[in-house]
Amino acid sequence: MSEIKLENLEKSFDDFVAVEKSNLTIFDNEFFILLGPSGCGKTTTLRMIAGLELPTSGKILLDNEDVTFLRASQRDIAFVFQLFALYPHLNVKRNLAFPLKMQRYKRTEINKRIEEVSELLRIQHLLNSKVSSLSGGDRQRVALGRAIVRRPKAFLMDEPLGTLDAEFRELMCLELRKLHNDIKATTVYVTHDQLEAMSMGDRIAVMNKGKIVQFGTPREIYLRPRNKFVGSFIGSPAMNFIPIHHTIEKTQDKIVINGENYDVPQSIGGTNSTINYLGIRPEKMFLTDKKGISGVVFGSEYLGARKILTIKSEFCDFKVRVTNQTNAQIGSNVRVNFDQKSGIIFDGKTDNAIESKYIKLN
């Protein structure tokens, strides 16, 4: 289908910068996710790709064709809105036919396509229903149908699952992903839900405060966050940040926490900040009898097979994911160590990860 390229794309509203100069390439057939907290500029980026918003500067290329200033209607891109935006005065069938009518397809072709799409999405029985009588999930399907029926160059989706209830959302996640595998269309999907992003995306771009902070596969983003924001935004519970009260030299492979030495992946970069942070995922930490950070069990969340313990130590709080057999009473003293191969050190001033044998920055 097609490739979408953003070059130095920027958007500001008066003196508020919604999207800072962004560069991004979304490959053909890719399920690409724009992930970030609300107000981070992800929807604005999507709307610029769609042509609903004009960029302040920069370029948008669709299949190497500059579409920056083309009208939405001329870009051949479909958009699925958060609130679906099904036309309330038309029934399901006419909603699906609406984009095709504009492209002056013959009636037989329109009917054929509607049939195909409604079969794909299993909405044949709804074709003559009023939009207002549909459930949230069915509206979602019809909204997708209206996008698919056009066979556009790319799909843009703005939190399309945001209004569904949790159980149904999970199901729709699977369906969407399956749908993508079936029709193989370039898709840009905006969400603030990291679980959705992780479960569906081929690649994810994490945005914060109008900037693309990092992009990569879900695995890369989870295991190797570029800065503290990504570490804390991705993963539930979030990454732990344990303060280190010394500078980091190049090729340093030991850090000191609370007077004890711990091994970390050998650093390549360094920093002269006097406070830095060790970032470590809760599942990479474990209780131990030997050397470790000592603290008191402050909270314990039971999650079936696993438990999440909140530990309060003298200098910070952190969470540890343990199996449910682990015996750790609230209020008891514990010592916690971590998997030394997966520690990431973040510069205390810039919040960026420091390059090491574990985390490579390009």
Which residue ranges make up the site for another protein (CB under 8 A)?
A: 50-52, 71-73, 75, 77-79, 81-83, 85, 87-89, 98-99, 102-103, 132, 146, 150
CB of 116: closest distance to another protein in angstroms?
A: 18
Cβ-based nearer residue to another protein, 98 or 298 = 98
Q: Half-sphere exposure of residue 176, counting CA atoms within 13 Å on the CB side?
A: 33
Report how far residue 159's alpha carbon sits from residue 299's, in angstroms, rounded to the nearest whole number. 33
CB of 204: closest distance to another protein in angstroms?
A: 24
CB of 277: closest distance to another protein in angstroms?
A: 42
State residue 251 phi and psi, 5-degree precision. 55, 35
Report how far residue 219's alpha carbon sits from residue 112's, in angstroms, rounded to the nearest whole number. 40
**Cis-peptide, bond into residue 218, ω within 30° of zero:** no
Cβ-based nearer residue to another protein, 103 or 181 = 103
CB of 144: closest distance to another protein in angstroms?
A: 13
CB of 56: closest distance to another protein in angstroms?
A: 14
Q: How many CB atoms lie within 10 A of CB 34?
A: 29
Cβ-based nearer residue to another protein, 105 or 298 = 105
- Distances from the Cα of 362 to the Cα of 120, 168, 280, 341, angstroms: 42, 40, 22, 20
Tokens 């449910």 -> residue: 324
Cβ-based nearer residue to another protein, 109 or 301 = 109
- Distances from the Cα of 161 to the Cα of 155, 175, 211, angstroms: 15, 11, 24
Cβ-based nearer residue to another protein, 46 or 212 = 46
CB of 138: closest distance to another protein in angstroms?
A: 17
Q: CA angle at residue 202 from 199 to 204, to 5 degrees? A: 85
Report how far residue 241's alpha carbon sits from residue 132's, in angstroms, rounded to the nearest whole number. 48
**Helix %, strand %, coil % of the chain (to 5):** 25, 35, 40
Cβ-based nearer residue to another protein, 57 or 103 = 103
CB of 129: closest distance to another protein in angstroms?
A: 16
CB of 133: closest distance to another protein in angstroms?
A: 13
Buried b / exposed e along 231-244 (16+ C-beta atoms within 10 A): bbbbbebbbbbbeb
Cβ-based nearer residue to another protein, 89 or 290 = 89
CB of 159: closest distance to another protein in angstroms?
A: 12
Report how far residue 206's alpha carbon sits from residue 215's, in angstroms, rounded to the nearest whole number. 6
Cβ-based nearer residue to another protein, 47 or 281 = 47
Amino acid at 254: K
Cβ-based nearer residue to another protein, 50 or 197 = 50
- Say how many Å lie between the first and final Cα of the chain, rounded: 29
H/E run at residue 204: strand 203-208
